[in-house]
Amino acid sequence: MKAVVYAGPRAVEVREVPDPSIEAPTDAIIRISTTNICGSDLHMYEGRTNVAPGTVLGHENMGIVQEVGSGIDRIRVGDRVSVPFNIGCGTCRNCTEGWTSFCLRTNPTPGVDGAAYGYSDMGPYAGGQAEFLRVPFADFNLLRLPPGNEHENDFTMLSDIFPTGWHGTELAGLRPGDRVAVFGAGPVGLMAAHSATIRGASQVFVVDREQDRLDLANKVGATPVDFSKGDAVGQIMDATHGRGVDCGVEAVGYQAQNRGGEEHPEIVMDSLVDVVRSTGGIGVVGVYRDADPGAGTPGAREGRIGFRFGRMFAKGQRVGTGQCPVMRYNRHLRDLIVSGHATPSFVVSHELPIGEAARGYRNFADREHGWTKVLLKP
Protein backbone atom coordinates (compact mmCIF):
# COMPACT_ATOMS: atom_id res chain seq x y z
CA MET A 1 0.00 0.00 0.00
CA LYS A 2 0.97 3.66 -0.27
CA ALA A 3 1.89 5.42 2.98
CA VAL A 4 3.35 8.73 4.17
CA VAL A 5 6.68 8.09 5.90
CA TYR A 6 8.99 10.37 7.85
CA ALA A 7 12.23 10.70 5.89
CA GLY A 8 14.12 13.24 8.04
CA PRO A 9 13.68 16.88 9.10
CA ARG A 10 11.22 18.63 6.77
CA ALA A 11 10.95 15.56 4.56
CA VAL A 12 8.04 13.17 4.19
CA GLU A 13 7.73 10.74 1.30
CA VAL A 14 4.93 8.59 -0.06
CA ARG A 15 6.33 5.06 -0.29
CA GLU A 16 5.11 1.52 -0.95
CA VAL A 17 5.04 -0.33 2.41
CA PRO A 18 3.60 -3.76 3.33
CA ASP A 19 -0.15 -3.83 4.03
CA PRO A 20 -0.93 -4.22 7.75
CA SER A 21 -2.41 -7.53 8.85
CA ILE A 22 -4.28 -8.88 11.86
CA GLU A 23 -1.62 -9.56 14.54
CA ALA A 24 -3.87 -10.27 17.52
CA PRO A 25 -7.47 -11.58 17.72
CA THR A 26 -8.58 -8.17 19.02
CA ASP A 27 -7.24 -6.23 15.99
CA ALA A 28 -9.13 -4.72 13.09
CA ILE A 29 -7.88 -3.37 9.76
CA ILE A 30 -9.39 -0.09 8.57
CA ARG A 31 -9.46 1.13 4.97
CA ILE A 32 -8.73 4.83 5.45
CA SER A 33 -11.17 7.28 3.87
CA THR A 34 -9.80 10.49 5.47
CA THR A 35 -6.62 11.11 7.48
CA ASN A 36 -5.51 14.54 8.66
CA ILE A 37 -2.19 16.30 9.12
CA CYS A 38 -1.95 17.60 12.70
CA GLY A 39 0.10 20.31 14.39
CA SER A 40 1.51 17.43 16.45
CA ASP A 41 2.90 15.89 13.26
CA LEU A 42 4.82 19.12 12.72
CA HIS A 43 6.94 18.53 15.86
CA MET A 44 8.22 15.38 14.10
CA TYR A 45 8.33 16.99 10.64
CA GLU A 46 10.46 19.86 11.95
CA GLY A 47 12.97 17.40 13.40
CA ARG A 48 12.09 18.22 17.02
CA THR A 49 11.52 14.60 18.12
CA ASN A 50 13.42 11.31 17.96
CA VAL A 51 10.94 9.67 15.56
CA ALA A 52 12.69 7.04 13.43
CA PRO A 53 12.97 7.68 9.69
CA GLY A 54 10.68 5.23 7.90
CA THR A 55 7.86 5.60 10.45
CA VAL A 56 4.43 5.76 8.83
CA LEU A 57 2.84 8.96 10.18
CA GLY A 58 -0.79 9.79 10.92
CA HIS A 59 -2.92 9.62 14.07
CA GLU A 60 -6.12 11.37 12.88
CA ASN A 61 -7.83 8.54 11.07
CA MET A 62 -11.25 7.37 9.92
CA GLY A 63 -12.52 4.86 7.41
CA ILE A 64 -14.30 1.58 6.79
CA VAL A 65 -13.61 -1.67 8.63
CA GLN A 66 -11.95 -4.02 6.15
CA GLU A 67 -11.17 -7.04 8.34
CA VAL A 68 -11.56 -8.05 12.00
CA GLY A 69 -9.73 -10.55 14.22
CA SER A 70 -11.41 -13.64 15.67
CA GLY A 71 -11.86 -11.94 19.06
CA ILE A 72 -13.92 -9.01 17.73
CA ASP A 73 -17.71 -9.17 18.17
CA ARG A 74 -18.96 -5.56 18.40
CA ILE A 75 -17.41 -3.98 15.31
CA ARG A 76 -18.35 -5.46 11.92
CA VAL A 77 -16.66 -5.49 8.52
CA GLY A 78 -18.12 -2.57 6.56
CA ASP A 79 -18.71 -0.32 9.60
CA ARG A 80 -17.78 3.33 9.13
CA VAL A 81 -15.60 4.29 12.09
CA SER A 82 -13.56 7.06 13.69
CA VAL A 83 -10.24 5.90 15.18
CA PRO A 84 -9.27 7.82 18.37
CA PHE A 85 -5.60 8.79 18.25
CA ASN A 86 -5.08 7.14 21.65
CA ILE A 87 -4.65 3.36 21.71
CA GLY A 88 -6.28 2.08 24.90
CA CYS A 89 -6.31 -1.50 26.18
CA GLY A 90 -9.70 -1.00 27.84
CA THR A 91 -8.76 -2.92 30.99
CA CYS A 92 -5.98 -1.07 32.84
CA ARG A 93 -6.62 1.31 35.71
CA ASN A 94 -6.34 4.46 33.59
CA CYS A 95 -8.48 3.12 30.73
CA THR A 96 -11.22 1.95 33.10
CA GLU A 97 -11.25 5.42 34.69
CA GLY A 98 -11.63 7.09 31.28
CA TRP A 99 -7.99 8.12 30.79
CA THR A 100 -7.24 6.16 27.64
CA SER A 101 -4.58 8.74 26.78
CA PHE A 102 -2.54 7.31 29.66
CA CYS A 103 -3.16 3.59 29.03
CA LEU A 104 -0.75 1.59 31.18
CA ARG A 105 -0.45 -1.38 28.82
CA THR A 106 -0.23 -0.30 25.19
CA ASN A 107 3.07 1.65 25.19
CA PRO A 108 6.27 -0.31 25.90
CA THR A 109 8.39 2.90 25.99
CA PRO A 110 9.87 3.13 29.54
CA GLY A 111 8.34 5.95 31.57
CA VAL A 112 5.60 6.80 29.06
CA ASP A 113 1.94 5.93 29.66
CA GLY A 114 -0.34 6.22 26.64
CA ALA A 115 0.07 5.10 23.04
CA ALA A 116 -0.81 6.53 19.63
CA TYR A 117 -0.44 5.76 15.94
CA GLY A 118 2.59 6.97 14.00
CA TYR A 119 4.11 9.08 16.75
CA SER A 120 7.50 9.37 18.47
CA ASP A 121 7.67 7.72 21.91
CA MET A 122 4.04 6.60 21.65
CA GLY A 123 4.69 2.92 20.90
CA PRO A 124 5.39 0.72 17.88
CA TYR A 125 2.19 1.50 15.98
CA ALA A 126 2.17 2.54 12.31
CA GLY A 127 0.18 5.64 11.43
CA GLY A 128 -2.85 5.96 9.19
CA GLN A 129 -1.64 8.40 6.52
CA ALA A 130 -1.85 5.33 4.34
CA GLU A 131 -4.39 3.16 2.60
CA PHE A 132 -4.86 0.82 5.58
CA LEU A 133 -4.35 0.94 9.35
CA ARG A 134 -4.14 -1.77 12.01
CA VAL A 135 -6.21 -0.89 15.11
CA PRO A 136 -5.45 -2.84 18.33
CA PHE A 137 -8.28 -3.58 20.81
CA ALA A 138 -10.68 -2.52 18.09
CA ASP A 139 -13.94 -3.34 19.91
CA PHE A 140 -12.86 -0.97 22.68
CA ASN A 141 -11.26 1.81 20.64
CA LEU A 142 -13.40 2.32 17.54
CA LEU A 143 -16.32 4.73 17.38
CA ARG A 144 -19.11 3.78 15.00
CA LEU A 145 -20.41 6.48 12.65
CA PRO A 146 -23.59 6.64 10.58
CA PRO A 147 -23.03 4.83 7.25
CA GLY A 148 -22.56 6.76 4.00
CA ASN A 149 -20.42 9.80 3.21
CA GLU A 150 -22.33 12.49 5.05
CA HIS A 151 -20.38 14.77 7.45
CA GLU A 152 -17.07 13.14 6.41
CA ASN A 153 -15.02 16.32 7.01
CA ASP A 154 -16.74 16.92 10.36
CA PHE A 155 -16.41 13.33 11.58
CA THR A 156 -12.72 13.30 10.67
CA MET A 157 -12.14 15.84 13.46
CA LEU A 158 -13.41 13.29 16.04
CA SER A 159 -10.15 11.30 16.09
CA ASP A 160 -8.25 14.15 17.75
CA ILE A 161 -8.68 17.89 17.42
CA PHE A 162 -12.37 18.35 18.21
CA PRO A 163 -12.15 16.25 21.40
CA THR A 164 -8.78 17.90 22.17
CA GLY A 165 -10.21 21.40 21.86
CA TRP A 166 -13.16 20.34 24.02
CA HIS A 167 -10.77 18.79 26.56
CA GLY A 168 -8.93 22.12 26.77
CA THR A 169 -12.16 23.81 27.85
CA GLU A 170 -12.92 20.95 30.27
CA LEU A 171 -9.46 21.16 31.90
CA ALA A 172 -9.99 24.93 32.15
CA GLY A 173 -13.22 24.32 34.08
CA LEU A 174 -15.27 26.38 31.61
CA ARG A 175 -18.82 27.10 32.78
CA PRO A 176 -21.72 28.66 30.86
CA GLY A 177 -21.35 32.42 30.90
CA ASP A 178 -17.58 32.35 31.33
CA ARG A 179 -15.20 34.52 29.40
CA VAL A 180 -12.36 32.43 28.01
CA ALA A 181 -9.05 33.18 26.28
CA VAL A 182 -7.75 30.59 23.81
CA PHE A 183 -4.08 31.00 22.84
CA GLY A 184 -3.36 29.60 19.38
CA ALA A 185 -5.71 29.74 16.38
CA GLY A 186 -4.34 26.59 14.80
CA PRO A 187 -6.83 23.77 14.29
CA VAL A 188 -6.75 22.86 18.00
CA GLY A 189 -7.30 26.42 19.22
CA LEU A 190 -10.14 26.88 16.73
CA MET A 191 -11.73 23.65 18.02
CA ALA A 192 -11.38 24.95 21.58
CA ALA A 193 -13.12 28.16 20.54
CA HIS A 194 -15.92 26.21 18.81
CA SER A 195 -16.28 24.00 21.91
CA ALA A 196 -16.35 27.00 24.26
CA THR A 197 -19.15 28.57 22.25
CA ILE A 198 -21.16 25.34 22.23
CA ARG A 199 -20.64 25.09 26.01
CA GLY A 200 -22.13 28.53 26.55
CA ALA A 201 -19.15 30.85 26.99
CA SER A 202 -20.24 34.49 26.99
CA GLN A 203 -17.10 35.65 25.17
CA VAL A 204 -14.25 33.77 23.54
CA PHE A 205 -10.95 35.50 22.76
CA VAL A 206 -8.61 33.74 20.32
CA VAL A 207 -4.97 34.86 20.18
CA ASP A 208 -2.66 34.31 17.20
CA ARG A 209 -0.94 36.40 14.56
CA GLU A 210 -1.98 34.48 11.43
CA GLN A 211 -4.71 36.57 9.81
CA ASP A 212 -6.40 33.67 8.00
CA ARG A 213 -6.72 31.76 11.27
CA LEU A 214 -7.96 34.79 13.20
CA ASP A 215 -10.56 35.32 10.44
CA LEU A 216 -11.85 31.77 11.03
CA ALA A 217 -12.05 32.45 14.77
CA ASN A 218 -14.09 35.54 14.00
CA LYS A 219 -16.32 33.51 11.67
CA VAL A 220 -17.28 31.13 14.49
CA GLY A 221 -18.16 33.98 16.82
CA ALA A 222 -14.90 34.50 18.74
CA THR A 223 -13.07 37.80 19.26
CA PRO A 224 -9.73 37.66 17.42
CA VAL A 225 -6.64 39.06 19.16
CA ASP A 226 -3.58 39.66 16.96
CA PHE A 227 -0.48 39.47 19.16
CA SER A 228 1.71 40.88 16.38
CA LYS A 229 -0.15 44.19 16.81
CA GLY A 230 0.46 44.48 20.57
CA ASP A 231 0.63 42.50 23.79
CA ALA A 232 -2.23 39.97 23.84
CA VAL A 233 -2.79 40.29 27.59
CA GLY A 234 -3.08 44.08 27.31
CA GLN A 235 -5.58 43.80 24.47
CA ILE A 236 -7.76 41.36 26.41
CA MET A 237 -7.51 43.44 29.61
CA ASP A 238 -8.62 46.53 27.67
CA ALA A 239 -11.56 44.63 26.18
CA THR A 240 -12.70 43.39 29.62
CA HIS A 241 -12.34 46.63 31.61
CA GLY A 242 -9.24 45.22 33.30
CA ARG A 243 -10.97 42.10 34.63
CA GLY A 244 -9.43 39.51 32.34
CA VAL A 245 -11.05 36.16 31.65
CA ASP A 246 -12.51 33.40 33.84
CA CYS A 247 -10.44 30.64 32.27
CA GLY A 248 -7.97 29.96 29.48
CA VAL A 249 -6.82 27.33 27.02
CA GLU A 250 -3.24 26.81 25.86
CA ALA A 251 -3.34 25.50 22.25
CA VAL A 252 0.15 26.49 21.08
CA GLY A 253 2.71 24.23 22.75
CA TYR A 254 6.45 24.36 23.38
CA GLN A 255 7.28 25.99 20.05
CA ALA A 256 5.45 29.20 21.03
CA GLN A 257 7.00 32.35 19.64
CA ASN A 258 7.21 35.94 20.82
CA ARG A 259 6.30 38.90 18.63
CA GLY A 260 9.79 38.90 17.15
CA GLY A 261 9.42 35.30 16.01
CA GLU A 262 11.84 33.85 18.60
CA GLU A 263 10.88 30.63 20.34
CA HIS A 264 9.86 31.15 24.01
CA PRO A 265 8.27 28.04 25.49
CA GLU A 266 7.14 29.93 28.63
CA ILE A 267 5.47 32.85 26.88
CA VAL A 268 1.93 31.53 26.54
CA MET A 269 1.79 30.18 30.09
CA ASP A 270 2.98 33.58 31.34
CA SER A 271 0.20 35.28 29.37
CA LEU A 272 -2.46 32.88 30.64
CA VAL A 273 -1.39 33.33 34.26
CA ASP A 274 -1.72 37.08 33.75
CA VAL A 275 -5.01 37.16 31.86
CA VAL A 276 -7.00 34.50 33.77
CA ARG A 277 -8.60 35.86 36.95
CA SER A 278 -7.57 34.56 40.37
CA THR A 279 -8.97 31.06 41.08
CA GLY A 280 -9.62 30.53 37.36
CA GLY A 281 -8.57 27.42 35.43
CA ILE A 282 -6.06 26.89 32.62
CA GLY A 283 -6.29 23.91 30.26
CA VAL A 284 -2.99 23.09 28.54
CA VAL A 285 -3.50 20.94 25.45
CA GLY A 286 -0.60 22.39 23.45
CA VAL A 287 2.21 19.84 23.66
CA TYR A 288 5.21 20.27 25.99
CA ARG A 289 7.87 17.57 25.78
CA ASP A 290 9.69 15.77 28.57
CA ALA A 291 12.96 16.53 26.78
CA ASP A 292 13.51 18.78 23.77
CA PRO A 293 17.12 18.52 22.52
CA GLY A 294 16.41 21.17 19.85
CA ALA A 295 15.40 23.88 22.36
CA GLY A 296 17.24 27.17 22.68
CA THR A 297 18.17 27.05 26.39
CA PRO A 298 19.71 24.32 28.60
CA GLY A 299 16.62 24.29 30.83
CA ALA A 300 14.18 23.91 27.96
CA ARG A 301 16.31 21.11 26.53
CA GLU A 302 15.46 19.20 29.75
CA GLY A 303 11.79 20.15 29.45
CA ARG A 304 12.07 22.83 32.18
CA ILE A 305 9.67 25.63 31.30
CA GLY A 306 10.32 28.69 33.47
CA PHE A 307 6.91 30.33 33.53
CA ARG A 308 5.53 32.51 36.34
CA PHE A 309 4.58 29.72 38.71
CA GLY A 310 4.82 32.13 41.67
CA ARG A 311 2.17 34.40 40.20
CA MET A 312 -0.01 31.39 39.41
CA PHE A 313 0.25 30.32 43.07
CA ALA A 314 -0.54 33.83 44.26
CA LYS A 315 -3.67 33.81 42.07
CA GLY A 316 -4.75 30.35 43.22
CA GLN A 317 -5.22 29.16 39.65
CA ARG A 318 -5.73 25.56 38.61
CA VAL A 319 -4.00 23.97 35.66
CA GLY A 320 -4.68 20.73 33.81
CA THR A 321 -2.50 19.24 31.08
CA GLY A 322 -1.90 16.27 28.84
CA GLN A 323 -2.97 14.30 25.82
CA CYS A 324 -6.71 14.23 25.31
CA PRO A 325 -8.60 11.05 26.27
CA VAL A 326 -10.62 11.11 23.06
CA MET A 327 -13.14 8.44 24.07
CA ARG A 328 -14.40 10.61 26.93
CA TYR A 329 -15.93 12.98 24.41
CA ASN A 330 -16.12 11.51 20.91
CA ARG A 331 -19.59 9.93 21.16
CA HIS A 332 -21.15 13.15 22.39
CA LEU A 333 -19.33 15.25 19.81
CA ARG A 334 -20.38 12.86 17.01
CA ASP A 335 -23.99 13.35 18.08
CA LEU A 336 -23.58 17.15 18.16
CA ILE A 337 -22.36 16.94 14.55
CA VAL A 338 -25.28 14.74 13.50
CA SER A 339 -27.78 17.08 15.16
CA GLY A 340 -26.19 20.12 13.47
CA HIS A 341 -24.99 21.77 16.69
CA ALA A 342 -21.31 21.36 15.80
CA THR A 343 -19.55 21.83 12.45
CA PRO A 344 -15.83 21.32 13.09
CA SER A 345 -15.18 21.05 9.33
CA PHE A 346 -15.02 24.85 9.24
CA VAL A 347 -11.24 24.54 9.80
CA VAL A 348 -10.66 22.48 6.64
CA SER A 349 -8.73 24.34 3.97
CA HIS A 350 -7.37 21.55 1.74
CA GLU A 351 -8.30 18.03 0.69
CA LEU A 352 -5.38 16.35 -1.08
CA PRO A 353 -4.70 12.92 -2.54
CA ILE A 354 -2.13 11.08 -0.44
CA GLY A 355 0.49 11.53 -3.18
CA GLU A 356 0.51 15.26 -2.39
CA ALA A 357 1.25 14.77 1.31
CA ALA A 358 4.66 16.47 1.06
CA ARG A 359 3.03 19.64 -0.30
CA GLY A 360 0.45 19.53 2.47
CA TYR A 361 3.09 19.18 5.20
CA ARG A 362 5.27 21.95 3.77
CA ASN A 363 2.52 24.53 3.42
CA PHE A 364 0.86 23.70 6.75
CA ALA A 365 4.23 23.81 8.57
CA ASP A 366 5.10 27.15 6.93
CA ARG A 367 1.64 28.52 7.91
CA GLU A 368 1.15 29.58 4.30
CA HIS A 369 -1.89 31.83 4.05
CA GLY A 370 -5.05 29.73 3.81
CA TRP A 371 -3.48 26.41 4.89
CA THR A 372 -5.38 25.88 8.15
CA LYS A 373 -6.13 22.13 8.09
CA VAL A 374 -5.10 19.56 5.51
CA LEU A 375 -7.01 16.32 4.93
CA LEU A 376 -5.50 13.46 2.94
CA LYS A 377 -7.88 11.26 1.00
CA PRO A 378 -6.24 7.90 0.23
Ligand X SMILES: NC(=O)c1ccc[n+]([C@@H]2O[C@H](COP(=O)([O-])OP(=O)(O)OC[C@H]3O[C@@H](n4cnc5c(N)ncnc54)[C@H](O)[C@@H]3O)[C@@H](O)[C@H]2O)c1
Kindly list the residues in this chain that would bind Zn ion in the complex (CB under 5 A): 38, 40, 60, 88-89, 92, 95, 103, 105, 160
- What's the Cα-to-Cα distance from 266 to each of 256, 282, 307, rounded to whole Å? 8, 14, 5
- 301 secondary structure, DSSP code: H
Among 62, 72, 207, 342, binds ligand X (CB under 6 A): 207
Give yes or no for residue 227 binding ligand X (CB under 6 A).
yes
Among 27, 79, 121, 208, binds ligand X (CB under 6 A): 208
188 binds, among Zn ion, ligand X, none (CB under 5 to 8 A by kind): ligand X
143 binds, among ligand X, Zn ion, none (CB under 5 to 8 A by kind): none
Phi, then psi, of 319 in degrees rounded to 5: -135, 140
Give yes or no for residue 120 binding ligand X (CB under 6 A).
no
**Single-letter residue type at 195:** S
Nearer Cβ to Zn ion (27/60): 60
What does 195-208 look like in DSSP terms, one character per residue? HHHHTT-SEEEEEE
Nearer Cβ to Zn ion (205/364): 364
Give yes or no for residue 257 binding ligand X (CB under 6 A).
yes
Selected range binding ligand X among 187-195, 214-222, 295-303, 355-363, rule: CB under 6 A: 187-195
Nearer Cβ to ligand X (68/122): 122
Give yes or no for residue 183 binding ligand X (CB under 6 A).
yes
Whether residue 117 contacts residue 58, with contact meaning beta carbons closer than 8 Å, is answered with: yes
Q: How far apart are CA 188 and CA 26, in angstroms?
A: 31
Q: Which stretches does DSSP call E strand in 297-373? A: 318-321, 350-353
Give yes or no for residue 164 binding ligand X (CB under 6 A).
yes
Helix, coil or strand: residue 311: helix
Helix, coil or strand: residue 161: helix
Nearer Cβ to ligand X (56/251): 251
Residues 33-62 that bind ligand X (CB under 6 A): 38-40, 42-43
Q: How many CB atoms lie within 10 A of CB 263?
A: 15
Going by C-alpha positions, the residue among 252, 303, 297 that lies closest to residue 40 is: 252
Going by C-alpha positions, the residue among 15, 6, 16 that lies closest to residue 52 is: 6
Whether residue 378 contacts residue 132, with contact meaning beta carbons closer than 8 Å, is answered with: no
In whole angstroms, the minimum distance from the beta carbon of 228 to Zn ion comes to: 26
218 binds, among Zn ion, ligand X, none (CB under 5 to 8 A by kind): none
Helix, coil or strand: residue 223: strand
Nearer Cβ to Zn ion (40/235): 40
235 binds, among Zn ion, ligand X, none (CB under 5 to 8 A by kind): none
In whole angstroms, the minimum distance from the beta carbon of 24 to ligand X comes to: 25
User: Cα angle vertex 276, ends 272, 284, to 5°?
Assistant: 45
**Angle of helix 161-171 relative to helix 330-338, nearest 10 degrees?**
110
Whether residue 347 contacts residue 190, with contact meaning beta carbons closer than 8 Å, is answered with: yes
Binding residue count for ligand X, defined by CB under 6 A: 34
Nearer Cβ to ligand X (68/192): 192
Pairing of strands 223-226, 203-208: parallel
In whole angstroms, the minimum distance from the beta carbon of 361 to ligand X comes to: 12
Among 58, 123, 224, 253, binds ligand X (CB under 6 A): 253
Instruction: Fill in the per-residue mask, 260 to 299: x = in contact with ligand X (CB under 6 A), - = not in contact.
Output: -------xx----------------xxx------------
- 20 secondary structure, DSSP code: P
User: Cα angle vertex 248, ends 232, 274, to 5°?
Assistant: 50
42 binds, among ligand X, Zn ion, none (CB under 5 to 8 A by kind): ligand X
227 binds, among ligand X, Zn ion, none (CB under 5 to 8 A by kind): ligand X
Q: How far apart are CA 54 and CA 126, in angstroms?
A: 10
103 binds, among Zn ion, ligand X, none (CB under 5 to 8 A by kind): Zn ion
Binding stretches for ligand X (CB under 6 A): 38-40, 42-43, 160-161, 164, 183-189, 207-210, 213, 227, 251-253, 256-257, 267-268, 285-287, 323-324, 367
